[in-house]
Amino acid sequence: MRTLFHFWLSPSSRKVRIALGEKGLDFEMQVEKISDRRPEFLAMNPAGDIPVLVEPDDGPILADQNAICEYLDEAYPEKPLLGSDPAERAETRRLTAWFDNKFNSEVTENLVGEKLIKRYLGWGYPHAPAIRAGLQNIHYHLDYIAYLAERRNWLAGDDFSMADIAAGAHLSTVDYLGDVPWDEHPEARLWYSRIKSRRSFRPLLSDALPGNPPPSHYADLDF
Amino acid sequence: MRTLFHFWLSPSSRKVRIALGEKGLDFEMQVEKISDRRPEFLAMNPAGDIPVLVEPDDGPILADQNAICEYLDEAYPEKPLLGSDPAERAETRRLTAWFDNKFNSEVTENLVGEKLIKRYLGWGYPHAPAIRAGLQNIHYHLDYIAYLAERRNWLAGDDFSMADIAAGAHLSTVDYLGDVPWDEHPEARLWYSRIKSRRSFRPLLSDALPGNPPPSHYADLDF
């Protein structure tokens, strides 16, 4: 069986879960606490990071979220997630990187990282100024989503793509904390409601961390 | 003419310069000081980052270093830089991400970022503990390069690839400061001497920042 080593509220793990779902591929999940630095896990990924995907039938062991997602699109090309020509694919990758890098460092790390991941990994306590920065920065990103969604069918163009997956993966972790100001960003909310109703996204909406339940609107398709 | 907006000691700009050189593509360069936040530049890349590549003849405007490099390999497929099958390409991308993310945050940011980029962009003074961390961390990465180079012809496998380009781009900026302990890492030095002697790499070796000349061994092929 295909196995994904992951953590529930890691956006990069969620990205791979959604991509697997879009491709219609079955997989089982195993939670990996990276701070344990298990030798068997480090042997699979010397970088020590999740996600890691182990393909079935002695297939490859894949590490790095971007490498895994690109692999899935190459090995299972039906229903492409990057676009059809090089320029379209560059636009999808630019926006995917926007969320994986810029949104991640400006928003996700400051909110999900500070409030949840730090404690889970035993890396200390939340840093209040970082949380304030994250709550500020998210407005600009929701405006950018609205700007794109008003001009295009999906974020990178006509088709649902890896850019929507990356944006949805990150926003869903922040939404789990109840920190997305949806009321002030109706266009971004409209785009996110389309993401939420995709079959590939549904499993994420039933994630629930012991002691850290999500707010009631988290799994609600009509939020 | 194809134009690359870049900065001399930015590893991601250097990555694109080397990739363009490997593909045999002509280009001109324009230095972009991202802290100026020029409106014309932000219109090309709302993320405000270098590198940006403007393709000739009304071709696409490309942003994000990974998106640019993937584009170059797709649009100019002769002499592929990622590998031939999906598993090989996943390994190349895993290692490319190793240098672009892990080496970057553990070494490049701590040394080139602190000593040089911060001052250039007017973002403050070097932070001594960060510099100490960078000087420590680089040993582990040079060991990993040696580990790979002893087992493979190039870092990701039989062929020169984007992984070598990423590693070379980052190491060359640290080497510009004279901060690579080559004497203690002869296998990594051997690999780097092969990188240095490639035609695509040569232009980087004549870069010289006013007031910040490189050490004498920087451009020396027999260092």
Q: Tell me, what's the ipTM?
A: 0.96
Nearest to B90 among A47, A67, A87 (CB): A67
Q: Give the pLDDT confidence of A9-32 residue by residue, as tens digits.
A: 999 999 999 999 999 999 999 999
Confidence class for position A69, pLDDT limits 50, 70, 90: very high
Please give the structure tokens belonging to residue A198: 């995709």
Reply yes or no on whether the pLDDT at A153 is more than 90.
Answer: yes
Domain span(s) for CATH 3.40.30.10 in chain B? 3-75
Q: Is residue A169 a contact partner of residue A14, using CB atoms and an 8 Å limit?
A: yes
CATH number of B86-219: 1.20.1050.10
Q: Give the pLDDT confidence of A129-145 residue by residue, as tens digits.
A: 999 999 999 999 999 99
Domain span(s) for CATH 1.20.1050.10 in chain A? 86-219
- Give me the DSSP letters along B43-81: HH-TT--S-EEE-TTT--EEESHHHHHHHHHHHS-SS-S
Q: What is the pLDDT of residue B188?
A: 98
Distance from CA of B86 to the nearest CA of A (A): 6
A50-to-A33, A99, A124 alpha-carbon distances in Å: 9, 17, 20
Other Cβ atoms closer than 10 A to B57: 6
What is the amino acid identity at position A8?
Answer: W
Residues of B in contact with A93 (CB under 8 A): 64, 66-67, 70-71
Closest residue by Cα to residue A169 from A161, A63, A117, A23: A161
Q: Give the pLDDT confidence of B38-59 residue by residue, as tens digits.
A: 999 999 999 999 999 999 999 9
CATH number of B3-75: 3.40.30.10
Tokens 């959604």 — which residue? Answer: A18
How far apart, in Å, do the first and last CA atoms of chain A sit? 35
Compute the average pLDDT of residues B176-195.
97
Reply yes or no on whether the pLDDT at A163 is more than 90.
Answer: yes
E runs forming strands in chain B? 3-6, 28-31, 52-54, 61-63
Q: CA–CA separation, A16 vs A108, rounded Å?
A: 17
Distance from CA of A90 to the nearest CA of B (A): 5
Q: What is the pLDDT of residue B146?
A: 98
Q: CA–CA separation, A106 vs A102, rounded Å?
A: 6
Residue of B94, B103, B147 best to disrupt the A interface, most CBs of A under 10 A: B94
Q: Give the pLDDT confidence of A185-220 residue by residue, as tens digits.
A: 999 999 999 999 999 999 999 998 888 899 999 999
